[in-house]
Amino acid sequence: MAQIVKLEKLSRHFRMAQETVRAIDEISLDIDEGQFVALVGPSGSGKSTLLNMIGGLDSPTSGHVFVDSQDIGSLSSQAKAHYRNRKIGFVFQDFHLQDNRTALENVELPLTIMGLPKAQRRRRATSALEAVALSDRLSHKPGELSGGERQRVAIARAVATEPRILLADEPTGNLDTKSGEEIISLIGRLNRTRNVTVIVATHDRRIAEKADLRVPLRDGRIVQEAPQ
């Protein structure tokens, strides 16, 4: 199996008053293409920071993030934006949908940024919403959808660009138990059927149990056993 992500002595430090916070502290990790990876650990363990660096939203203090052998930290701002749009799909706890746009229009947004023609955008967005069982909600705006449906729209938007990697930050955090289980099953199905590499930051043990690789974090480091 080919390697898609390589973290090499990766660190991210923040200055807070007179203190240096080591959000990520010399993490090394290899992730293979098509793996389902769960980053687990308490709040403040570094899960979201790690996702942001893999996604090119944040830069390392030291060390490297390689994706397809390319050092993401060395890219220009414009090249990082292209990398995020072409290779990465993001799913957030708070959905990040535009309230004044329909489900279909929300999913079309990253395709517009890619410069795809209108007809092609419409086909791909419709297909992505069908894949998450929302073909009957295309014209609904976020305020007309349940929390679980809004998260499914967010997932459809993330996969519509056909990314190599899906990064999900607490995707079940704002959902009830039933909706959370549906989202977990959906992400797992997309991982299997589309061979998308999935990296999830989560407190949800149900997600961790389905992952191929479980990465327990504490204080910015990988630990041997998941924190309780």
Name the CATH architecture for the domain at 3-222: 3-Layer(aba) Sandwich (3.40)
For residue 228, the model assigns a pLDDT of 45
Distance CA(184)–CA(202), nearest Å, equals 11
Bridge partner residues of 152 (DSSP): none
What digits encode the pLDDT tens for the residues 41-78?
Answer: 999 999 999 999 999 999 999 999 999 999 999 999 99
Bridge partner residues of 123 (DSSP): none
What digits encode the pLDDT tens for the residues 94-126?
Answer: 999 999 999 999 999 999 999 999 999 999 999
Distance CA(115)–CA(75), nearest Å, equals 21
Which pTM was predicted? 0.93
CB atoms within 10 A of CB 122: 17
